[in-house]
Homo-oligomer: A and B are copies of this chain.
Amino acid sequence: MTEDLPSPALLPSGLSDLLPPEAAREAALVEAMLAVFAGHGYERVKPPLLEFEDSLLAGSGAAVAEQTFRLMDPGSHRMMGLRADTTPQVARIAATRLADVPRPLRLSYSGQVLRVQGNQLAPERQIPQAGIELIGADSAEADAEVALLGVEALAAVGIGSPSLDITLPTMAPALLDAAGVQGDLRRRLARALDRKDAAAVAELAAIAGPPAIGLAALLTAAGPADRALEALREAELPPEARAIADNAAAIVAAIRARAPALRITLDPVEFRGLQYHVGVAFTLYGPGNTGELARGGRYRSGEEPATGMTLYPDAVRRAAPATPAAPRVFIPLGADPAAAARLRAQGFITVAALSAADTPRQLRCGHILRGHDAAPIEEIA
Contact with B along A46-79 (1 / 0, CB 8 A): 1111111011001000000000010101111010
Residue of B nearest to A28 (CB): B31
A-B contact pairs, 26 of them (CB 8 A): A1-B95, A1-B304, A8-B58, A8-B95, A8-B96, A10-B55, A12-B73, A15-B51, A17-B46, A17-B93, A18-B45, A19-B45, A19-B98, A20-B44, A20-B45, A24-B38, A27-B31, A40-B350, A40-B351, A49-B49, A49-B112, A50-B126, A69-B71, A104-B354, A106-B351, A137-B355
Given contacts A8-B54, A17-B47, A24-B43, could you give 14 more A-B pairs where the C-beta distance is less than 8 Å?
Answer: A1-B304, A3-B303, A11-B48, A12-B52, A12-B76, A13-B75, A19-B45, A21-B43, A23-B44, A24-B44, A26-B46, A38-B349, A39-B350, A139-B354
- Say how many copies of this protein the assembly contains: 2
Task: Report the nearest B residue to A333, measured CB to CB.
Answer: B141
Check A141 against B354 for contact (C-beta < 8 Å): yes
Interchain nearest-CB distance for A55 vs B (Å):
4
Q: Which residue of B lies closest to A113 (CB)?
A: B49
State whether the Cβ of A362 lies closer than 8 Å to any Cβ in chain B: yes
User: Complex Cα distance A9/B69, Å?
Assistant: 21
Contact, CB under 8 Å: A11 / B45: no
Sort chain A's interface into a size bin: 35 or more
| Closest beta carbon of chain B to A348's beta carbon, Å | 8
CB pair B354–A137 under 8 Å, yes or no, is yes
Do residues A50 and B15 form an inter-chain contact, with CB atoms below 8 A? Answer: yes
Q: In whole angstroms, what is the CA distance A112 to B48 when docked?
A: 9
Q: Does A241 contact B (CB under 8 A)?
A: no
Residues of A participating in the B interface, judged by any CB pair closer than 8 Å: 1-4, 6-21, 23-24, 26-27, 31, 34, 38-41, 43-52, 54-55, 58, 69, 71, 73-76, 78, 80, 82, 89, 92-93, 95-99, 102-104, 106-107, 109-112, 114, 116-117, 125-126, 134, 137, 139, 141-142, 145, 258, 302-304, 328, 333, 337, 344, 349-355, 358, 361-364
Chain B residues near A71: list those with CB within 8 A. 69, 71
A52 to B10, CA, bound (A): 8
**Residue A363 contacts which of B78, B102, B112 (CB distance < 8 angstroms)?**
B102
Residues of B within 8 A of A45 (CB): 17-20, 23
Question: B1, B97, B139, B361: which contacts A99 (Cβ < 8 A)?
Answer: B1
B58 and A13: CB pair below 8 A? no
Given A1-B303, A17-B97, A141-B352, CB of A23 within 8 Å of CB of B8: no
Residue of B nearest to A94 (CB): B1
Please tell me if the beta carbons of A12 and B110 are within 8 angstroms of each other in the complex: no
* Bound Cα distance A34, B39 (Å): 23
In the complex, chain B residues whose CB is within 8 Å of the CB of A337: 258
How far is B43's CA from A333's CA once the two chains are assembled, in angstroms?
21
**CA of A97 to CA of B363 in the docked complex: distance in angstroms?**
17
A46 to chain B, nearest CB (A): 4
Please state if A12 and B117 are interface contacts (CB–CB under 8 Å): no
A381 to B21, CA, bound (A): 47
Query: Assuming the A-B contacts A39-B350, A350-B39, are A9 and B96 also in contact, with contact meaning beta carbons closer than 8 angstroms in the complex?
Result: yes
